[in-house]
Amino acid sequence: MFIFYLKSATHSLLRNRVLTALIIVAIAFGIGASMTVFSIFRTMSGDPIPWKSAQLFVPRIDTRPPGKHQDGIPDLLSYQDAMELRHAKIVAHQTPLYTLALHLMPEDINLLPQHVVGVAVDRDFFHLFDVPFRYGSPWAVENGDDGSNVVVIGKRLNDRLFGGKDSLGQSLNLDGTKYRVVGVIKNWDPQPRLYNLLNAPYGDSEDFFIPFSTAVEHKIAPRGATSCSEAWSERLGAVCTWILVWVEATTPSDAQHYRDFLADYAMEQQRLGRFSWLPSASLSNARDWLEEKHIVPTETRLSLILAFGFLTVCLVNGVVLMMAKFLSRDRETAIRRALGATRTIVFSQFLVEAGVIGALAGVLGLGLTAVGLAFERSLLPKEMARVTALSPAVIGMTFGLAVFATVCAGLYPSWRGSIVEPAVQSKT
Amino acid sequence: MLTMTNLSKVFRTEFLETFALRDFSVDVKEGEFVAITGPSGSGKTTFLNIAGILEEFTSGEYKLDGVNVRHMNDDQRSRLRNEKIGFIFQAFNLILDLSVFANVELPLHYRRLAAAERKTRVTDALRRVGLSARSKHYPGELSGGQQQRVAIARALAGKPRILLADEPTGNLDSQTARGVMGLIEDLHRQGSTIVLVTHDPQIAARAQRQIHIVDGQIVALEQLGGLSRTAASVTIDRDAP
């Protein structure tokens, strides 16, 4: 029977092509506008690691004197505090992190060095954020304490330097120091880059990952603004903050235990005379931290509301046009009813027709969404271009929304079209 | 086959009550060919619509093939109509953007017959009306007589218990009308029960029995002027099928 409904719908749509086209275009524009904004919103607000983000936390300690807390607790820790937390081993997995930029020196001296961006982390980083590996694994030494010159590289860098092949054992010259490749990760581009929100939350993932201890040993300065001066000795002190720390607490009781530890640590620092006041300490869950960082601008949220409002207007237009379309076939409907079609059959037929209209509007709407995202891409900074990508999930959602919304919009017109009495129209 | 007992159809407004049919009783037996005649507004089409379960009635009883239709819901009426009744309308009432085959097949879809069964019935019905070669044509490509034949095939494909025809030759020229009436008479000879509404006395004369309606009631034949009768309907001496 569904095939029969589809054939009937096709006949009906082709019978009045102009009206059919009007309905499709009206709905497609609403779909295109709303899904363009939604696609961007989804990327910006999405939790890139939803299966695990509830277990990931950022410990923060505000060492500023009272009266300097207007802008909330700073996200970065000093080297002293980060190492104290690292060595306390309150949780099973944790990592310090900071971003760095180096020059990749090619083997061929006639070629120019390439600017590459990476992060300095402990090996636990790859466990914390479920980083997938194509070749090899994280460096073998626990926390990289021996300062080994090893490196894990990203897929893009591996493709560029080694043609995508297994490059384990190869060496990279970064700022004059040779690092041995021990791992190559797969295509990994979480959006936003939760682990490094403070440094360009959207964009490509880093080119390389080296042990935190190795980076400190080589005195590699962090990339981006910090509260530190250029002197490396100051960075190793207790005042300037430049390190982000991530910990994993798998249960609420583990998280509470860590909070208690932070509070105790703050009190201990005061007792040891480092501060004359009690420093604030907090443990922020990854999701709360995303929210706090306002990754999604207010303008984007407002645009989303307006875009779906526009879709509603387009669907109302669709309702009116479908009413005109279905009710203009009163005579045919009466004939079908006279021949034995129940109201349910007629209703179902009209609803399938609405579904077909929705499917066609979905295809056109998808095209308009792609155009909209391309337009947005031309307006946004290059590092934000990633948020305008049309993901397979959004493609599916666009099509599904078009069909669902049009079928819902078609409910009333279908019902009105089905309540035609067979006798009135059949009289001659 | 078709039995109405004291059936009335009343249209009520705030100020007026109009009887389209008043205490109407009729009994059409299986295999009969009955003509319903009467002036415009007499209630012929209302009778046909009620007989075809296209309209509800106000009071009385109506049994179609032994089934009492009075308290049926809309879905039940639709299914009974689909299974028991074949319609032949004055204006043909074909769906213009369906082919001849698809038009004849339409009521069979609503009965959810298998594709093979539908094809067999449609082919047989088109053969009976002599339009096998036109199955892929569209109604707009056919003459009036051919369109009416398609309508008859559509009515036959469902193997109805009764055929209801409302002025089947009203939109046709005389020659074509004779052809269509010949086909209807053939169907009667083959055993079909036919109730036909017509203005045309020549058409009516070809039926086995005539029922004349005036102001919603069956009237005595003497009122028609000149023909003897004693009953509320006239039985014409014709060979039974």
Helix or strand (DSSP H, E) at A182 = strand A177-185
Q: How many Å apart are CA A126 and CA A138, to the nearest integer?
A: 7
- Judge if the upstream peptide bond of residue A138 is cis by omega within 30 degrees of 0: no
Residue A351 is predicted with a pLDDT of: 94
Residue A21 is predicted with a pLDDT of: 93
Long-range CB contacts (< 8 A, 24+ apart) of B180-189? B180/B145, B180/B148, B180/B149, B180/B152, B181/B206, B183/B129, B183/B149, B183/B152, B184/B88, B184/B152, B185/B33, B187/B128, B187/B152, B187/B156, B187/B163, B188/B31, B188/B33, B188/B241, B189/B241
Whether chain B has a CB inside 8 Å of the CB on A419: the answer is no
Kindly report, residue by residue over B4-51, the tens digit of the pLDDT.
Answer: 999 988 888 888 888 888 888 899 999 999 999 888 888 888 899 999
Residue of A nearest to B111 (CA): A340
The ipTM of this complex is 0.86
Contact A350/A410 with Cβ under 8 angstroms? yes
Decide the pairing of beta strands B33-37 and B209-214: parallel
Q: How many Å apart are CA B57 and CA B5, to the nearest integer?
A: 12
| Torsion over CA: B168, B171, B176, B177 (sign) | positive
Whether chain B has a CB inside 8 Å of the CB on A156: the answer is no
pLDDT above 50: residue B133:
yes
pLDDT: is A205 or A218 the higher one? A218
pLDDT above 50: residue A425:
no
Kindly report, residue by residue over A41-79, the tens digit of the pLDDT.
Answer: 777 777 778 788 889 999 998 877 776 656 677 888 989
| Torsion over CA: A247, A251, A255, A261 (sign) | negative
pLDDT above 80: residue A228:
no
Mean per-residue pLDDT over chain A, rounded: 86
Q: Domain residue spans in chain A?
A: 2-48+296-426, 64-278
Q: What are A21's two structure tokens?
A: 């086209």
pLDDT: is B13 or A86 the higher one? A86
Q: What are A212's two structure tokens?
A: 């935190």
* DSSP state at residue B217: E
* Contact criterion met (CB < 8 Å) for B107 and A339: yes
Judging contacts by C-beta atoms under 8 Å, the chain B residues touching residue A421 are 54-55
Averaged pLDDT, A129-136:
94
Residue A30 is predicted with a pLDDT of: 92
pLDDT above 90: residue A179:
yes
Give buried/exposed letters for A17-32 (b at 16+ CB in 10 A, else e): eeebebbbbbbbbbbb
Averaged pLDDT, A3-14:
87
Judging contacts by C-beta atoms under 8 Å, the chain A residues touching residue B114 are none
Averaged pLDDT, A370-379:
86
Residue A191 is predicted with a pLDDT of: 77
Shortest distance, CA B100 to any CA of chain A (angstroms): 14
Kindly report, residue by residue over A254-290, the tens digit of the pLDDT.
Answer: 999 999 999 999 888 888 887 777 778 889 888 888 7
pLDDT above 60: residue A422:
yes
Whether chain B has a CB inside 8 Å of the CB on A336: the answer is yes
* Contact criterion met (CB < 8 Å) for B87 and A339: yes
Lowest-confidence segment of A177-186, B17-26, B93-102, B115-124 by average pLDDT: B17-26
Residue A142 is predicted with a pLDDT of: 53
User: From start to end of A49-170, where are the E strands?
Assistant: 56-62, 77-78, 93-105, 114-121, 133-136, 150-153
Task: Report the residue count for chain B.
Answer: 241
Residue A93 is predicted with a pLDDT of: 93
Judging contacts by C-beta atoms under 8 Å, the chain B residues touching residue A420 are none
Instruction: For residue A340, give the nearest of B95, B110, B170 by CB distance.
Output: B110
Q: Which of B21, B110, B167, B196 to mutate to probe the A interface, most A CBs <10 Å?
A: B110
* Contact criterion met (CB < 8 Å) for A4 and B89: no
Which residues neighbour A334 within 8 Å (Cβ) at sequence distance 6 or greater?
Answer: A420, A421, A422, A423, A424, A425, A426
Averaged pLDDT, B158-176:
87
Residue A297 is predicted with a pLDDT of: 64
Averaged pLDDT, A404-424:
88
Q: Could you say which residues from 65 to 84 on chain B have a Cβ atom under 8 Å away from some Cβ of chain A? A: 74-75, 78-79, 81-83
* Contact criterion met (CB < 8 Å) for A335 and B95: yes
Which residues neighbour A49 within 8 Å (Cβ) at sequence distance 6 or greater?
Answer: A56, A129, A130, A190, A194, A286
Residue B224 is predicted with a pLDDT of: 40
pLDDT above 90: residue A153:
yes
Averaged pLDDT, B54-70:
90
Residue of B nearest to A331 (CA): B93
Residue A427 is predicted with a pLDDT of: 45
Residue A214 is predicted with a pLDDT of: 92
Judging contacts by C-beta atoms under 8 Å, the chain A residues touching residue B95 are 332, 335-336
Judging contacts by C-beta atoms under 8 Å, the chain A residues touching residue B74 are 342-343
Kindly indicate the confidence band of residue B236, based on its pLDDT and cuts at 50, 70 and 90: very low
Residue B109 is predicted with a pLDDT of: 92
Residue A56 is predicted with a pLDDT of: 94
Cβ burial, residue B16 (10 Å; 0-12/13-18/19+): exposed
Residue of B nearest to A337 (CA): B78
Greatest pairwise CA separation for chain B in angstroms: 56
Share of chain B above pLDDT 70, in %: 91
Q: Could you say which residues from 96 to 155 on chain B have a Cβ atom under 8 Å away from some Cβ of chain A? A: 97-98, 106-107, 109-112, 154
Give the count of beta carbons closer than 10 Å to the beta carbon of residue B7: 23
Shortest distance, CA A307 to any CA of chain B (angstroms): 39
Kindly report, residue by residue over A296-326, the tens digit of the pLDDT.
Answer: 666 777 888 888 899 999 999 999 999 999 9
Q: How many CB pairs under 8 A join A and B?
A: 69
Q: What are phi and psi of A426, to 5 degrees?
A: -85, -10
Instruction: For residue B74, give the nearest of A343, A423, A427 by CB distance.
Output: A343
Averaged pLDDT, A233-243:
80
Residue B234 is predicted with a pLDDT of: 38
Residue of A nearest to B87 (CA): A339
* Contact criterion met (CB < 8 Å) for A427 and B93: no
Degrees to nearest 5, angle at CA B184 with B183 and B187: 90
Residue of A nearest to B171 (CA): A428
Kindly report, residue by residue over A107-118, the tens digit of the pLDDT.
Answer: 777 778 889 999
pLDDT above 50: residue B222:
no
pLDDT above 60: residue B239:
no
Kindly report, residue by residue over B96-117, the tens digit of the pLDDT.
Answer: 889 999 999 999 999 888 999 9
Residue A428 is predicted with a pLDDT of: 40
Residue A148 is predicted with a pLDDT of: 84
Residue A147 is predicted with a pLDDT of: 64
Residue B17 is predicted with a pLDDT of: 84
* Contact criterion met (CB < 8 Å) for B49 and A335: no
Give the count of beta carbons closer than 10 Å to the beta carbon of residue A415: 15
Q: Residue B199 in 3-state DSSP?
A: coil
pLDDT: is B72 or A225 the higher one? B72
Residue A193 is predicted with a pLDDT of: 84
Residue B62 is predicted with a pLDDT of: 94
Judging contacts by C-beta atoms under 8 Å, the chain B residues touching residue A5 are none
Maximum mean pLDDT: which of A38-42, A232-236, B98-102: B98-102
Averaged pLDDT, B212-235:
53
Residue of A nearest to B78 (CA): A340
Whether chain A has a CB inside 8 Å of the CB on B52: the answer is yes
Q: Residue B67 in 3-state DSSP?
A: strand
Contact A359/A12 with Cβ under 8 angstroms? no
pLDDT above 60: residue B71:
yes
Residue A29 is predicted with a pLDDT of: 93
Residue of A nearest to B43 (CA): A427
* Contact criterion met (CB < 8 Å) for A340 and B111: yes
Instruction: For residue A340, give the nearest of B78, B93, B98 by CB distance.
Output: B78
Kindly indicate the confidence band of residue B190, based on its pLDDT and cuts at 50, 70 and 90: confident
Task: Report the residue count for chain A.
Answer: 428
Kindly report, residue by residue over A326-336, the tens digit of the pLDDT.
Answer: 988 888 999 99
Helix or strand (DSSP H, E) at A383 = none
Helix or strand (DSSP H, E) at B30 = none
Judging contacts by C-beta atoms under 8 Å, the chain B residues touching residue A428 are 45, 89-91, 166-167, 170
* Contact criterion met (CB < 8 Å) for B75 and A335: no
* B100-110 vs B74-84: helix crossing angle, rounded to 10: 130
Kindly indicate the confidence band of residue B221, based on its pLDDT and cuts at 50, 70 and 90: very low
Residue B220 is predicted with a pLDDT of: 52
Instruction: For residue B78, give the nearest of A1, A337, A423 by CB distance.
Output: A337
Residue A73 is predicted with a pLDDT of: 79
Shortest distance, CA A45 to any CA of chain B (angstroms): 50
Shortest distance, CA B11 to any CA of chain A (angstroms): 13
Kindly indicate the confidence band of residue A146, based on its pLDDT and cuts at 50, 70 and 90: low
Kindly indicate the confidence band of residue A382, based on its pLDDT and cuts at 50, 70 and 90: low
* Contact criterion met (CB < 8 Å) for B167 and A428: yes
